[in-house]
Amino acid sequence: MKRGPRKRRDVEWERDRLRAILDSMEDGIYIVGRDYRIDFMNLALRSEVGDGEGQLCHELFGHDSENCDHCLHGMGSFGPQILREWTFAATGKTYEMAVAPIHEPEGHISRLHILRDITERKRLEARLQEYSFHLEARLREQAETLLHRERLALLGEISAGLAHEIRTPLGAIITGIKVLEKGHPREEERRLIFELLMREATRLKVKVSEFLAYARPRTPQLRQTSVARLFDEVLHLAAADEGLAGRVHLEKTVDSGAPEWPMDKDLMKEALHNLCINALQALQGDGSLRLESRFVEGSLELLVKDDGPGIPSHEIQNIFKPFHTLRPEGTGLGLSICREIVESHGGRVSASSIPGNGATFRILLPHTAPSPISQPEVTSESP
């Protein structure tokens, strides 16, 4: 009997202590009973919206009464807390509200609401978003400016390269015409002059075509293409130039796991042909040239291998750069055009070489065509 009043004092002390703890918190806290009325509000919330204990929750906070049942019964008795964002019209502030169930001693369930003022955070987020949009706009503007400058620089580079490359064949053509103007040369001289004119005119046509292909790349039209047939056509083109192919042994190996692949056949044939020409020039009429295809982790790998002298280690980093060439008669655009074609397919091209033991060019094509890759992958090997 003597323990009753003492026990009540202990309960009252714990209650007062808990209220003091809740009143010391900066977040607004209130409890809603099963009758939708507010049973408790801490000091922070009373200071913000006034004393609302005993009032209906939706009346104090300006909610729609139709949401009361959803608020009270939409949460499981042992479910996790629910987080919401809510703007209080009376204060104009935005709150992050956490709602969790409370199991009362009498057996019913109340709802604990914790309101955290996130108005300043939302304002900063809005400013950050606005700044992000502004920054993106500036970056786009700067990117367009840089792109315009790069195009102008490329135009100047192409113009200078084109002027340099056409000067020699034009000079030879003009010389041949002047010789013909002087009189009637002998038949043998006349034949040599016409051969010179035809050779230099053809050379000039090839160079102009290369410059146009580099300056105006075409968007690939993807269609299912037979890899074996593609290799046959490329090797036929390579063998047709007898002066370049000489006694080089041409062969192919096609992986049966990927008989067809989505690609622009004409463009890929041009890319592979450029790689073959590069290899044949290195072989100088003797050796072997092999085309291979492999199915690698969902991608198609095309290989162009030769057993020539290889690529010097100090040059391999530059071979895909436009206008870079080690041959006086070359434009330095063949490998650059190859890179542009491969990257327009969403793939990448790489080169590896063991000096004195040949070179290998690898083209890796995905089954779909994502955004082009900006730089080729170039690796160097040493024996």
Amino acid letter, residue 25: M
Q: Is 373 helix (H, G, I), strand (E, B) or coil?
A: coil
Q: What is the DSSP letter of 290?
A: E
Asked if pLDDT for residue 372 goes beyond 60, the answer is: no
Asked if pLDDT for residue 157 goes beyond 80, the answer is: no
Contact call for residues 325 and 331 (beta carbons, < 8 A): yes
Separation in Å, CA 285 to CA 25, 206, 336: 88, 21, 24
Which pLDDT tens digit goes with each residue over 109-153? 788 888 888 888 888 888 988 888 888 888 888 888 777 776 666
Question: What pLDDT does 80 receive?
Answer: 63
Residues 6+ apart with CB under 8 A from 228: 252, 254, 259
Question: What pLDDT does 300 receive?
Answer: 92
**Structural domain boundaries in the chain:** 3-117, 123-214, 220-378
Highest mean pLDDT among 30-34, 318-322, 368-372: 30-34
Q: Has domain 220-378 been given CATH number 3.90.76.10?
A: no
Count the alpha carbons within 13 Å of 368 in the hemisphere toward its beta carbon.
Answer: 2
Question: ∠ CA(60), CA(61), CA(62), 5° rounding?
Answer: 100
Question: If you write DSSP's letter for every residue of 113-164 in order, what string do you get?
Answer: EEEEE-HHHHHHHHHHHHHHHHHHHHHHHHHHHHHHHHHHHHHHHHHHHHHH
* Tokens standing for residue 317: 């980093």
Question: CB neighbours (10 Å) of residue 287?
Answer: 18
Report d(CA 216, CA 267) in Å as an integer: 13
Question: What pLDDT does 98 receive?
Answer: 85
Report d(CA 371, CA 220) in Å as an integer: 13
Highest mean pLDDT among 132-141, 320-329, 374-383: 132-141
Report d(CA 262, CA 145) in Å as an integer: 35
Question: What pLDDT does 141 receive?
Answer: 85
- Which CATH number applies to 123-214? 1.10.287.130
Contact call for residues 332 and 342 (beta carbons, < 8 A): no
Q: What is the DSSP letter of 216?
A: S
Mean per-residue pLDDT, 207-228:
78
Count the alpha carbons within 13 Å of 179 in the hemisphere toward its beta carbon.
Answer: 16
* Tokens standing for residue 18: 């808990």
Report d(CA 378, CA 376) in Å as an integer: 6
Report d(CA 164, CA 211) in Å as an integer: 12
* Tokens standing for residue 90: 């009376």
**Residue 69 pLDDT level (bands cut at 50, 70, 90):** low
Q: Work out the mean pLDDT of the chain and round it to a whole number.
A: 80
Taking alpha carbons only, the member of 336, 314, 241, 252 closest to residue 281 is 241
**Comparing 9 with 283, which gets the higher pLDDT?**
283
Which pLDDT tens digit goes with each residue over 29-40? 888 887 888 888
**Residue 383 pLDDT level (bands cut at 50, 70, 90):** very low
Angle between helix 265-283 and helix 227-240 axes, rounded to 10 deg: 40
Angle between helix 334-344 and helix 187-215 axes, rounded to 10 deg: 30
Q: Which superfamily does CATH assign the domain made up of 3-117 to? A: PAS domain (3.30.450.20)
